[in-house]
Amino acid sequence: MRQAMRIHAIIVAAGAGLRAGGGVPKQYRAVAGQPLLRHAVKRLLGHPAITGVSVVINPECRALYDEAVAGLGLSEPIVGGATRQESVLAGLEALAADPPDIVLVHDAARAFVPDAVIDALVAAFDDDVDGACPALPQVDSLRRGEDGRFSGSVVRDSLWRVQTPQAFRTPAILAAHRAAASGATDEVAIALAAGLRVAITPGDERAFKVTEPADFAKAEAMTTYSSRAASGFDVHKFGPGDHVWLCGIKVPHDHGLIGHSDADAGLHALTDALLGTIAAGDIGDHFPPSDERWRGAASDQFLAHAATLVRERGGLIDHVDVTLICERPKVGPHRDAMRTRIAEILGLGIDRVSVKATTTEKLGFTGRQEGIAAQAMASVRLPEHSA
C-alpha cells in the first residue's frame, strides 16, 4: 500500500525573511557553501518516499531561486502570495489537477530535517488519520507573566513545539485550506479548524527553524566536514631578466623566469594543489596558455580563483605549504614576505601558510641553475554535501 503512495512536498520559500541578516531573504543565504533553500530541496528530493518537490517563491526572487536550485531538476516554481497561508494554498492549488495521495508542507528555513522525521510522518498514515505533524515535547517549564512578574503556571505536559514538514491527505488539506479563515500560522491549525485528525510524530532538534543570525552559525556548526589534501608541482626555466616572481614577491635576480604568465612557479604549484583538493582539474584548464588574457598575468589571480572555487564548495582552507627548489636566488630573505602575500591572497592567517626552500645539491636542472621548481600541498575541509 505505502509503496504505491504518491507523496509530494511543497517547500514554502516566498517570505522576505531579512531578520537573519545577510542582505538577501534567508532562504537564499548560504550555509556551508549552499543556499538554505538548496539544502532543504536536496533533503526532501533525497528521501526515498518523496516522489516530487515543488517550491513556492516570491517572483521578485526568481533569479536567486534559479541559482539556488540549479541542476536539481525541479519544475517551474509556484508564485506565492502575501502571506504564508496564501503561498501554501497556491502550492496546493497547483497540485489540484493531479493530486498526490499525501502532500508535505515544509518551510525552507527548516532545511536540515532528518530522514527519520519524514519516515515517521509517512508511517503515521498507516493509521486512520488525515494528517501528521512532527513535534517535540515542551521540556522547559512554562509560566505566565506580566510586567516583569510571574502570575501563574501553564501545564506543559500537553504542549508541543511543532515543526515541519506537516503531512496531509491532499484532498482533505486542500478543502480545509480553501475554507480556512486568514491568519493561520500553519497547516495543523487549518486542519484542526476543519475537524481533521492530525497525528503527532517525533520531531528532531536538527529540524530547527533558521531565523536569527545566530541560527546560521548553528547550522554551520552542524555541518560535517571531511578533510582533503592535494599536491601541486611546477617548473619554469630561467631566461634573460633582472628579477623573478616567486610566491607573489618580486625577487631581484640575474635572470628572469620564462612563462606565459609571470612564471611564478610557487603560486602555480599552490594553485594546482588547491584545485586538487576539489578535483577541479589543473591551472591549465582554468587559465589556458593559449589565452592571450593570461600573457604576463600576475599569478595571484590564479591562486585567488582556486580559493574561490574551494569556498564556493563550502570548503575551508586549513593549511598550505610551498617548497621552492633552486640554488639561487636565496629564498630565506623573502620567506616572510612570501608567506604574508600568500596569506593575503587566500584570506588566511599567516600561521596557516608555510614557505620552505631547498637546493638539489647542484644536481639536476635546478642544480645547474637552468630553472626553478616548486611543489606545494594544500589541506582543506569540505562539507559532506559537496561530495
Residue type at 295 in one-letter notation: R
Determine the Cα–Cα distance for residues 138 and 135; give it in Å rounded to an integer: 9
Helix 170-179, helix 84-93: angle, nearest 10: 130
Nearer to Mg ion, 9 or 283 (CB): 283
Nearer to Mg ion, 164 or 261 (CB): 261
Q: Cis check for the bond before 59: say yes or no (omega within 30 of 0).
A: no
- Least separation in angstroms between residue 251's CB and Mg ion is 16
Nearer to Mg ion, 38 or 268 (CB): 268
Q: Are 169 and 236 in contact (CB under 8 A)?
A: no
Q: Are 74 and 11 in contact (CB under 8 A)?
A: no
Q: Are 302 and 287 in contact (CB under 8 A)?
A: yes
- Least separation in angstroms between residue 338's CB and Mg ion is 16
- Least separation in angstroms between residue 268's CB and Mg ion is 4
Cα dist. 129→102, 158, 166, 336 in Å? 12, 20, 13, 69
Nearer to Mg ion, 206 or 237 (CB): 237
Segment lying near Mg ion (by CB under 5 A), choices 136-144, 148-156, 205-213, 229-237? 229-237
Segment lying near Mg ion (by CB under 5 A), choices 60-68, 84-92, 234-242, 353-361? 234-242
Q: State which H helix or E strand residue 20 sits in.
A: none
| Those residues with Cβ within 8 angstroms of residue 183's Cβ, 6 or more apart along the chain or in another chain | 85
Determine the Cα–Cα distance for residues 278 and 205; give it in Å rounded to an integer: 31
- Least separation in angstroms between residue 253's CB and Mg ion is 17
270 binds Mg ion (CB under 5 A): no
Residue nearest to Mg ion (CB): 268
Of the CA atoms within 13 Å of residue 242, those in its CB half-sphere come to: 0
Nearer to Mg ion, 51 or 301 (CB): 301
Determine the Cα–Cα distance for residues 203 and 105; give it in Å rounded to an integer: 15
- Least separation in angstroms between residue 269's CB and Mg ion is 8
Neighbours of 371 (CB within 10 A): 20
Nearer to Mg ion, 268 or 313 (CB): 268
Nearer to Mg ion, 41 or 246 (CB): 246
Site string for Mg ion, 53-92 (x = CB under 5 A): ----------------------------------------
29 binds Mg ion (CB under 5 A): no
Nearer to Mg ion, 216 or 287 (CB): 287
Nearer to Mg ion, 43 or 255 (CB): 255
Determine the Cα–Cα distance for residues 229 and 283; give it in Å rounded to an integer: 17
272 binds Mg ion (CB under 5 A): no
Q: Are 110 and 209 in contact (CB under 8 A)?
A: yes
- Least separation in angstroms between residue 340's CB and Mg ion is 22
The correct pick among 268, 313, 334, 339 for binding Mg ion (CB under 5 A) is: 268
Total residues contacting Mg ion (rule CB under 5 A)? Answer: 2
**Which alpha helices (H) appear in 135-288, and where do they start and end?**
170-179, 187-193, 213-221, 265-277, 283-286
302 binds Mg ion (CB under 5 A): no
234 binds Mg ion (CB under 5 A): yes
How many residues are listed for the chain in this entry?
A: 387
Chain positions contacting Mg ion, by CB under 5 A: 234, 268
